[in-house]
């Protein structure tokens, strides 16, 4: 559940934070960047990008996840030019771009889908869909009582599909929200978010849906989890209410199938939920975390430096919370960073090079540490 267009609206309304945090961010120099043939795609300070390639050219495109052999990517898009009314899943080979053609859709085309991820056989994906409840796209409420909100559809369940779009299994059937599934690089476990306990918690299961275990149990929205490269740890985002007023507001919204994601921090724990600790204390929205190939750093998106809620940029931080470094230097939105399994490339979503529109496109950057 990572609603792209909604996040762009979010960037306008999140409150500003103190500029004192800026002192902790390392700035790259323009001399360190290796330029690409299209200089406009890499900003001068972006020293970690050796080259970059734009993949999509319209709509909102996100959640680009690599196959285990790094030969293909699955992603979600609501591109109206492709006939989409809400997010569906699409497949691409890593050398493709889609400026003048449409990629093959590998979801059903019914309901709303989110968070597809390859299984280790490279022939199947898992993703969440609302199609069993309604073949139409569900409504997307963005504000409640003047506040920005995300919908948490209780009609989301997690399915397995082949690369031709045929659903081959249903992994969840509990009442309530089941979504945000990602697969361990070890190929043995899936982590996902569910409301089956009455709150938004993390769970793991085997890739066939068996052996479901609850991982988190504190009040608040725990979601967007990913495994470390060795499968031993989890990184995720959380908005955990503390005061009586925050707790009441959170519970009231959740009862209506809504969450308010304007204040989120990153948490890290072992894959069984032990040794849970808060990784960031930056304020505003810190989210879409992903492990660096070393397993010792986290790449994530944040607007903690923003004065008016935007831009969102990518940052690196050590898993002990030290050495915060700004990676991208856009003026609007960079998020959903995902490293290839070999660690050589980074897929992410960005508003760069969108001609002044609200389009959020996919990019693949050649990574250098």
Number of H helices, E strands in the chain: 2, 27
Residue 142 confidence (pLDDT): 73
Query: Does 201 score more than 70 pLDDT?
Result: yes
Token pair 């080979």 is found at 93
Which CATH superfamily, name and number, covers 4-23+58-336? TolB, C-terminal domain (2.120.10.30)
Residue 211 confidence (pLDDT): 98
For residues 335 and 347, is the Cβ–Cβ distance under 8 A?
Answer: no
Distance of CA 60 to the CA centre of its chain: 13
Q: What percent of the chain lies above the pLDDT cut of 70?
A: 89
Q: What is the mean pLDDT of residues 10-26?
A: 35
The model's confidence at residue 83, banded by pLDDT at 50, 70 and 90, is very high
Whole-angstrom CA distances from 250 to 265, 284, 312 are: 16, 16, 24
Residue 27 confidence (pLDDT): 36
pLDDT digits (tens, 9 = 90+) for 302-322: 999 987 778 999 999 999 999
**Weakest mean pLDDT among 144-148, 206-210, 252-256:** 144-148
Q: Where are the domains of the chain?
A: 4-23+58-336
Query: Does 1 score more than 90 pLDDT?
Result: no
pLDDT digits (tens, 9 = 90+) for 68-81: 999 999 999 999 99
Query: Does 212 score more than 60 pLDDT?
Result: yes
SS3 332: coil
Q: What is the mean pLDDT of residues 100-107?
A: 97
pLDDT digits (tens, 9 = 90+) for 269-297: 999 999 999 999 999 999 999 999 999 99
Residue 327 confidence (pLDDT): 98
User: 236 pairs with which residues across the strands?
Assistant: 267
Q: What is the mean pLDDT of residues 146-162?
A: 92
Burial class (CB in 10 A: 0-12, 13-18, 19+), 246: middle
The whole-chain average pLDDT of the chain stands at 90
pLDDT digits (tens, 9 = 90+) for 317-336: 999 999 999 999 999 999 99
d(CA 49, CA 65): 19
Residue 24 confidence (pLDDT): 36
The model's confidence at residue 39, banded by pLDDT at 50, 70 and 90, is low
Q: What percent of the chain lies above the pLDDT cut of 90?
A: 83
31 Cβ contact list (under 8 Å, min separation 6): none
Q: Choose among 64, 73, 122, 76: nearest CA to 96.
A: 73
Residue 25 confidence (pLDDT): 38
The model's confidence at residue 6, banded by pLDDT at 50, 70 and 90, is very low
For residues 13 and 303, is the Cβ–Cβ distance under 8 A?
Answer: no
Alpha helices in 191-271 (DSSP H): 244-255
**Assessment of whether the complete model's pTM goes beyond 0.75:** yes
**Position with higher pLDDT, 11 vs 152:** 152
Whole-angstrom CA distances from 39 to 212, 252, 328 are: 47, 48, 14
d(CA 78, CA 99): 15
Query: Does 163 score more than 60 pLDDT?
Result: yes
Tokens representing 86 are: 């809400």
Token pair 């040794």 is found at 275
Query: Does 357 score more than 60 pLDDT?
Result: yes
Whole-angstrom CA distances from 260 to 8, 14, 150, 176, 250 are: 14, 11, 6, 18, 8
Residue 230 confidence (pLDDT): 98
């Amino acid at each position: 559940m990572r609603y792209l267009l909604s996040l762009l609206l979010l960037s306008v309304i999140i409150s500003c934070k103190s500029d004192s945090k800026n002192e902790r961010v390392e700035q790259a120099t323009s001399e360190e960047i290796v330029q690409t043939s299209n200089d406009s795609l890499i900003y001068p300070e972006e020293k970690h990008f050796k080259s970059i390639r734009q993949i999509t050219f319209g709509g909102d495109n996100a959640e680009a996840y690599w196959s285990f052999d790094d030969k293909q990517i699955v992603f979600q898009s609501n591109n109206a030019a492709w006939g989409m009314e809400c997010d569906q899943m699409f497949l691409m080979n890593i050398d493709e771009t889609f400026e003048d053609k449409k990629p093959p859709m590998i979801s059903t085309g019914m309901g709303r889908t989110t968070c597809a991820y390859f299984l280790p056989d490279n022939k199947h994906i898992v993703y969440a869909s609302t199609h069993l409840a309604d073949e139409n796209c569900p409504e997307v409420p963005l504000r409640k009582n003047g506040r920005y909100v995300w919908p948490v559809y209780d009609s989301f369940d997690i399915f397995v599909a082949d690369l031709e779009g045929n659903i081959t299994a249903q992994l969840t059937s509990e009442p309530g929200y089941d979504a945000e599934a990602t697969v361990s690089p070890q190929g043995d476990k899936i982590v996902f978010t569910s409301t089956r306990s009455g709150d938004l918690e993390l769970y793991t299961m085997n890739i066939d849906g068996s052996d479901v275990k609850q991982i988190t149990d504190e009040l608040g929205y725990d979601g967007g989890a990913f495994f470390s490269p060795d499968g031993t740890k989890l990184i995720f985002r959380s908005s955990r209410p503390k005061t009586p007023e925050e707790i009441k507001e959170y519970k009231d919204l959740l009862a209506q199938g809504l969450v308010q994601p304007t204040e989120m921090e990153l948490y890290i724990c072992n894959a069984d939920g032990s040794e849970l600790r808060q990784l960031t204390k930056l304020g505003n929205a810190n989210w879409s975390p992903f492990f660096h190939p070393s397993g010792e750093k986290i790449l994530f998106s944040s607007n903690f430096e923003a004065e008016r809620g935007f831009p969102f940029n990518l940052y690196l931080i050590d898993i002990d919370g030290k050495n915060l470094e700004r990676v991208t230097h856009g003026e609007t939105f960079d998020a959903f960073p995902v490293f290839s399994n070999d660690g050589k490339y980074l897929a992410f979503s960005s508003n760069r090079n969108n001609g002044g529109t609200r389009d959020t496109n996919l990019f693949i950057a050649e990574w250098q540490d």
